[in-house]
Amino acid sequence: MVKHVQLPLTEETARGLQAGDQVLLSGAVFTGRDAAHKRLIALLDEGKPLPVNLEGETIYYVGPAPARPGQAVGPAGPTSSYRMDPYTPKLLDLGLKGMIGKGERGTEVIDAMKQHGAVYFGAVGGSAVLISRSIEKSELIAYPDLGPEAIHRFVIKDFPAVVVIDSQGNNLYQQGPELYRKTDL
């Protein structure tokens, strides 16, 4: 059964999601990849405010292609999330509740997710055109010099994803293969 999830995430919603849940996300997300994350952490290290309030928010790790006429964005598939791992625990400390990307996350990130009740959603790599159809609006928020890696605010509707790591640390990348492992060879 697919769950409809409204963003921003509440504590109750985030903690109620389980690894393996199929979801359709609707609401707003911020975008950002490693260059933007590096700048956010530099601001924090300098004691300066961030250009966005991350409390309850979700970040989509994406560098969208340019939009065609009539579209909010062009193809917008997920990027590899591990590249944001060095920065993620500090952002979770600020109230970040969700992340969307592809690939595994490090132990430090998973521990911080458990501490703060956050979830990691997996979007299917290779489905960038399909995903872009769920993005209704795109607004540039910060770092326009980064081009597609700038921070944007996307308004999304029925964005398809899977809960890969839940707030308890359950990890579909570890649990999934166990379901198909043959024990009687």
* Long-range contacts (CB closer than 8 Å, 24 or more residues apart) made by 77-82: 77/123, 77/124, 77/125, 77/126, 77/127, 77/128, 77/131, 78/102, 78/122, 78/123, 78/124, 78/125, 78/131, 79/33, 81/105, 81/120, 82/106
**Which pLDDT score, from 0 to 100, does residue 126 have?**
67
Render pLDDT for 104-127 as a digit per residue (tens, 0 to 9). 999 999 999 999 999 999 998 767
pLDDT confidence of residue 182:
57
Architecture label for domain 2-162: Alpha-Beta Barrel (3.20)
With CA atoms as reference, report the closest residue to 118 among 178, 55, 61: 55
pTM score, two decimals?
A: 0.93
pLDDT, tens digit, 9 for 90 and up, residues 138-172: 999 999 999 989 999 999 999 999 999 999 999 99
Domain positions in the chain are 2-162
Banded model confidence at residue 183, pLDDT cuts 50, 70, 90: low
